Structure 1
Amino acid sequence: MQLTLEIPEKFFAYQTPAELARLLKLNTAIDLYRHGKLSASAAAEFVGDLDRYEFLYECRHRGVEPQTYENTEELQAEIDMLAKNLA
């Protein structure tokens, strides 16, 4: 799926469209992660050019603490997703 945004040219004075697009994706991924909508791995995949550890570094840099698992089912779902991605 592709999403198109119209952004006025003046916002590209200090960054390229690609840099702004990456920043928007990163900030969106961090917000979704903060609210429990994405795991760290899924959020890193959403951004596209980060691994899980780089994503968690970006979160920490912005004051977002790593999420913990509330139950074993959440942890197992994360393990299953990682295993699927490695296969």
Structure 2
Amino acid sequence: MIPQLVTASYRRRNGRWLRLYVPVLPVLLVLSPLLLLVVLGGLVACLVFRVSPVGALRGTGRLLWALPGSRFELEDGQMAVLVSVR
């Protein structure tokens, strides 16, 4: 299952959290022309570095399949960032 929603939270200086909800599918549709260029660039990189394009595509698919349910938290002093993939 591909991710449906990415939630990014950022703690402001006053201690309150700012949350951003990013739906994946509409963003993917808007950026689809660039996605084609990225795929072509990835194929060229696979040929240059002699990596199997099928293996690279399979690895990318497994990475995307494992993303739902992931949480990434970064905290340094007063700054904190939380990214949650659903």
Mark yes or no: TM-score above 0.5. Answer: no
More strand by share: 2
The structure with more helix, counted as a fraction of residues: 1
